[in-house]
Structures are given as C-alpha cells and as structure tokens.
Structure 1
C-alpha cells in the first residue's frame, strides 16, 4: 500500500471523527459573553466526500485499475 493512500485514509478518518464530534454538540459554546465556533459542518462534509473520492482513486491506482488502464485493443483495417 502506498504512503499517499495511508495519509488519505488517516485524514479521512480524522474528518469523520470531527464530524461526529460536531454532531454530538461540540461545534460551538459560550463562556460568558464570548462565543467560540469551532468548525463548519458543510465544509467538513464536503472534505469527507472529496477524501473518499481520492482514497478510491488512489486505491484503484495501486491495484492497477487506474483511469488510464487499457482494457483491450481491436486492430481494424479501415
């Protein structure tokens, strides 16, 4: 397995964990008059979708099923 694939899977898992924390109520809180907002759920969801596509593409590439793979050639005399 390639190092890039491992990094992508690790980042994807971190974003999934972050999304779970936000959904559990850790997105924003107030201390006195101050309010802290940690992350935007839409941005995290978009990044999860992006990373899922990247992981899928990298896994296909390492398995030899990249997008430029030649399946077969039929010679024709026109």
Structure 2
C-alpha cells in the first residue's frame, strides 16, 4: 500500500512540475499567437490553474495517507423499510 502511494505521489509531483512550467510559459506570453488573420490558443490559463490546484490538493492528501492520517470521511445512513 505504501509503495502504491509513493508511486502515485511521484506521478502527481511530475504532473505538478509540468503544469507549473506550463503556467510559467503562459504568463510569459506563450498562451496564444497569431498567424495572418488566425489566432491560435495553446493553453487556457484558467484550466491550467485549476489543474495545479487539484494536483496540490491530491499531493497533500497522499502525504497525509503516508503519515497514516488520510482524509477522514463520515457518512450518515438512514435505514428505511418501504
């Protein structure tokens, strides 16, 4: 189980690094370019930022799991006899 969490954490860290680099490139002005009368957009800053936030949250969750804490969830069950 620990090995799987570490493997997943490595993947999340790699993806996070890629998305942070993409965000940096977008902020430097590489988000869109124009050729003649056509404007092409390479990436959407909003989507990249959302993915970065999701990856950071996933990374924190995996790190908590490694410490044995994890995110605790509780459910309420209502039993009904119909």
Q: Which residue of structure 2 lines up, in the alignment, with residue 21 of structure 1?
A: 25
TM-score for the superposition, normalised by structure 2: 0.76
Q: Which residue of structure 1 lines up, in the alignment, with residue 69 of structure 2?
A: 65
Count of residues in Structure 1 that have an aligned counterpart in Structure 2 = 68
Q: Say which SS state the counterpart of residue 70 (structure 2) adopts.
A: coil
TM-score for the superposition, normalised by structure 1: 0.80
Pairing 1:27-38 to 2, within 5 Å after superposition: 27-38=31-42
Q: Following TM superposition, where does structure 1 have runs of at least 4 consecutive aligned residues deviating by more than 3 angstroms?
A: none
Q: Which runs of 5+ in 2 are unaligned?
A: 73-82
Q: Residue 34 of structure 1: CA displacement?
A: 2.4
Q: Which residue of structure 2 lines up, in the alignment, with residue 73 of structure 1?
A: none
